């Protein structure tokens, strides 16, 4: 059997199979991504202080610290390929984007092509698409990574590489106006700073940043 009927039946079967919530381990049932109690813990908040700015001012959007539901959800998305989490996390972030930021486009932090081939996807791009859909703006691959390196998240802060110049503007056009740079986690801020510098050097007037956790 093929076609829309088979697709619908397959989706129904998957929804009825026992599936643990990545956030807490409870059964998801027909719920997608995260259970309702875990979704309720995803509260977007804007920060004025981070390693990304020398002076305080609202610029960083997160769903909270890298712990609990947020940590488990990020790891499930990134390392277990739980892509159905991206729309849930993206929508939670979109709900907290201040209208005053005037975001014209969402830009995901890119992976090096070799890393993306190995993983099969870029989690920041999945989050960026979901967030952009909610905001009604384009998700634009406006950056590319020019050199590979070890995974920052798996290194101690003192060991993380200098990423200055590791990103450059791609040829994909951006609409005029501020952009929202999206990644899964902010740690030391080196990756986001390098991306921010590349965008600003290319003439982007303002760069805001959204991450699931920090």
pLDDT confidence of residue 111? 92
Is residue 21 classed as helix, strand or coil in its secondary structure? Answer: coil
Give the mean pLDDT of 138-151.
84
Answer yes or no: is pLDDT of 204 > 70.
Answer: yes
pLDDT confidence of residue 161? 58
pLDDT confidence of residue 31? 83
Answer yes or no: is pLDDT of 12 > 60.
Answer: no
- What global pTM score does this model have? 0.86
d(CA 186, CA 141): 19
Buried b / exposed e over 113-145, threshold 16 CB at 10 Å, is: eeeeeeeeebbbbbbbbbbbbbbebbbbebbbb
Q: 85: how many CB neighbours lie within 10 A of its CB?
A: 26
| pLDDT band at residue 10 using 50, 70 and 90 as cut-offs | very low
d(CA 128, CA 130): 5
Give the mean pLDDT of 21-33.
90
Structure tokens given for 116: 């993306």
**Percent of the chain clearing pLDDT 70 (strictly above):** 85
- Exposed, middle or buried: residue 166 (CB in 10 Å: 0-12, 13-18, 19+)? buried
pLDDT confidence of residue 159? 43
184 close to 79: Cβ distance less than 8 angstroms: no
Structure tokens given for 162: 């200098």
182 close to 107: Cβ distance less than 8 angstroms: yes
Structure tokens given for 119: 């993983």
Cα–Cα nearest to 214, from 96, 65, 78: 65
């Amino acid at each position: 059997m093929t076609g829309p009927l088979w697709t619908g039946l397959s989706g129904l079967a998957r929804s009825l199979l026992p599936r643990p919530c990545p956030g807490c381990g409870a059964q998801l049932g027909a719920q997608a991504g995260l259970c309702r109690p875990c979704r309720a813990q995803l509260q977007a908040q804007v920060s004025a202080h981070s390693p990304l700015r020398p002076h305080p001012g609202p610029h960083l959007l997160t769903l909270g610290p890298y712990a609990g539901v947020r940590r488990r959800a990020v790891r499930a998305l990134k390392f277990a390929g739980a892509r159905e989490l991206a729309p849930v996390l993206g929508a939670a972030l979109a709900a907290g984007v201040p209208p005053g930021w005037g975001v014209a486009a969402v830009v995901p932090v890119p992976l090096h092509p070799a890393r993306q081939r190995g993983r099969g996807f870029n989690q920041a791009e999945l989050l960026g698409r979901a967030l952009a859909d909610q905001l009604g703006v384009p998700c634009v691959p406006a950056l590319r990574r020019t050199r590979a390196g070890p995974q920052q998240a798996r290194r101690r802060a003192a060991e993380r590489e200098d990423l200055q110049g590791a990103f450059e503007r791609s040829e994909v056009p951006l609409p005029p106006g501020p952009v929202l740079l999206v990644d899964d986690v902010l740690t030391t801020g080196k990756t986001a700073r390098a991306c921010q510098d590349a965008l600003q050097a290319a003439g982007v007037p303002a760069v805001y940043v959204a991450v699931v956790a920090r």
